Structure 1
Amino acid sequence: MLVAVLVLFIGVPLLPLVSSALRGGTRPVANNSASGFQLSVADQTELENRAHSYELVLRDDPNNTTVLRRLLEVRLEQGKLQQALAPLETLSQLQPEQPDYTILLAQARQHLGDYEGSFRAYDRILQANPGDVNALQGMINLQLQQNRPEGAIGRLQDTLKLAAQANAANPGSVDVASVQLLLGWVYAYQERFTEAIAIYDQIMSANPGDFRPVWAKAEILKQQGQYSQAKPLYQAAVALAPPRYKDQIQQIADQLAQMPPPTQDSPEESPE
């Protein structure tokens, strides 16, 4: 649930075609990303012919972004993620002002097992914009996957240290609360719950109208079996949350209300 909460808060957006390709990986017979049905031989042939025609254009005009995007879409629709890397790499270099291309490149490389290539792609974004939360989340997930939690914590702490200076030069360039949420999530991922809760309390104090740290803290308390402390936090999160999140949080709160109390809930409820 902690992972799900994080994705809801600051999830990395994926284009539908890319999302489909990353789920399925490179395969000889791909699934049609729009319909979910297996591509026919005729469809595969038609897609390969289109890809070949785009590649011919790119031989003479390698920086044609329109054709690069079309080639990328075809390769992803085919499920040929490895062959999608070349147009995606070129697009990320030609249009650095659109970091989604570089994020998608990093995700693709990570999916294919090129972790250093993925790291370099995320780092390229963060060198230009240290507060890019999508790139930060991708980088942190990669570092945790590689069992490098201290590197993840260090990256987030360094980002927070430079936030004031960065926001003075470019207001809003670092969303401090979102970076703190990431740091709290890393602590929770490591089961360093005291440190995670301290981070969430800090966010709640600075941003009393933000439902995210309230919900995140409630999740940790529920995970620890401290139901009586978690329940009011869920209700507070429901009250603060935007409409698209209210039902989901309320459902969790309702499920919690139906759970039997643990033998030891919180110190104040322990028998005298």
Structure 2
Amino acid sequence: MPFFAQNAAVNCHQGKSVNPPEEAAVIDKKLSREQKAILETRLAQFEATLSTSPEDETALEGAAVTLTELGDYARATSLLQELVKVKTSDPEVFRLLGEVKYELKDYDGSAAAYKLSAAVSKDVDFEVLRGYTNALLAAKRPAEAVQFLLSCRERLNMERSTGPDPMAESSKMETEPQNLDRIQVDLLLGKAYSDWGHVSDAVAIYDQLISSNPNDFRGYLAKGIILKENGNVGDAERMFIQARFFAPEKAKALVDRYSRQRKFM
């Protein structure tokens, strides 16, 4: 299943429009002259601080983030590799390192950074989960991606079965960066199975999603995409019809795009 098509289903949130990752990346990098000038000015300020205090953590992180925004991933990586030596328990620094290494097509390095981010974090962050999965798949390591996602899925299922701990709710709200969407985890798992060549397992995951979340369009869309890619056009079209019916208004165009597409690249 193609990378952009899989991520389209993974990224879909009800009530929001979604671009496939490649399109989003192009949009993000189209900085106006004014935006670029602001970022370059900010970078110069951080670099001035680093020229006198090369170990200043705030300046290192600020410069790395700014370079990432400017698309200078090689220089950003260099700074982040220095930063992780001193901020060894900061999941965000490792996450950003994983992001820039992915952009540089260092997929094994990206996966290692995302794995460290997950290891030092108290909670499961979906951005790290998705980044780690995509890095493993790009590195041609789908079996590892599947095992990782299955362990995350098991953890979420255990939390669901035991129920929330009232005593921990306040601290959880303070520390958890974002709520983990179980549907997105399963969509990632289906994607990993598909990349591994286990199409029937991917379809089974999507069937479970549809059964447990019949009003959520994402399961129908993901199943429609994989069925169409594997030549089952009739069943795929039925999935797209269901996906469009349940999709929020802003996501209907996305469903239409994939239902009309003759071939996924």
Residue of structure 2 equivalent to 1:55: 50
1:159-238 pair list within 5 angstroms? 159-167=152-160, 168=163, 174-238=180-244
Residue of structure 2 equivalent to 1:71: 63
8 Å CA contact 1:2–1:216 kept in 2: the answer is: no
Moved more, 141-150 or 116-125: 116-125
Q: Which amino acid aligns with 1:185?
A: K
Give the Cα separation in 1 of the matches to 2:228 and 2:136. Answer: 27
Q: Does the alignment pair 1:104 with 2:104?
A: no
Give the Cα separation in 2 of the matches to 1:79 and 1:251. Answer: 29
Give the Cα separation in 2 of the matches to 1:136 and 1:74. Answer: 23
8 Å CA contact 2:216–2:246 kept in 1: the answer is: yes
- Residues 12-59 of structure 1: per-residue CA shift (max 9 Å, x gap): xxxxxxx9xx98xxxxxxxx962379x99xx98x78854541313544
* Structure 1 position 153, deviation (Å): 1.1
User: Over aligned residues, Cα RMSD in angstroms?
Assistant: 3.8
* Structure 1 position 207, deviation (Å): 0.9
Give the Cα separation in 2 of the matches to 1:177 and 1:77. Answer: 30
Q: Which amino acid aligns with 1:155?
A: F
Match of 1:138 among 128, 131, 135: 131
8 Å CA contact 1:166–1:173 kept in 2: the answer is: no
Percent of residue pairs identical: 25
Give the Cα separation in 2 of the matches to 1:221 and 1:247. Answer: 19
Give the Cα separation in 2 of the matches to 1:9 and 1:224. Answer: 17
Distance 1:166 1:101, change over 3 A: farther
* Structure 1 position 247, deviation (Å): 1.3
Counterpart secondary structure, 1:162: helix
Q: Does the alignment pair 1:34 with 2:28?
A: no
* Structure 1 position 206, deviation (Å): 0.8
Counterpart secondary structure, 2:87: helix
Moved more, 184-193 or 197-206: 184-193
Give the Cα separation in 1 of the matches to 2:73 and 2:127. Answer: 21
* Structure 1 position 228, deviation (Å): 1.9
Residue of structure 1 equivalent to 2:114: 122
* Structure 1 position 105, deviation (Å): 1.1
Distance 1:102 1:80, change over 3 A: same
Match of 1:93 among 87, 91, 113: 87
* Structure 1 position 189, deviation (Å): 2.0
Q: Which amino acid aligns with 1:62?
A: D
Structure with the greater alpha carbon radius of gyration:
1
Give the Cα separation in 1 of the matches to 2:196 and 2:247. Answer: 27
* Structure 1 position 203, deviation (Å): 0.7
Counterpart secondary structure, 2:224: helix
Report the TM-score, using the length of structure 1 for normalisation. Answer: 0.68
8 Å CA contact 2:107–2:136 kept in 1: the answer is: no
Distance 1:129 1:165, change over 3 A: farther
- Residues 139-186 of structure 1: per-residue CA shift (max 9 Å, x gap): 122222222221111111111122133454578954322211111111
Distance 1:195 1:52, change over 3 A: closer
Q: Which amino acid aligns with 1:154?
A: Q
Specify every segment of 5 or more residues in structure 1 that has no aligned partner in the other structure, as ranges.
12-18, 24-31, 260-272
Residue of structure 2 equivalent to 1:5: 5
Q: Which amino acid aligns with 2:95?
A: I
- Tell which has more relative contact order, 1 or 2 (C-alpha 8 A, sep 6+): 2
8 Å CA contact 1:126–1:132 kept in 2: the answer is: yes
Moved more, 101-110 or 76-85: 76-85
Specify every segment of 5 or more residues in structure 2 that has no aligned partner in the other structure, as ranges.
12-21, 170-177
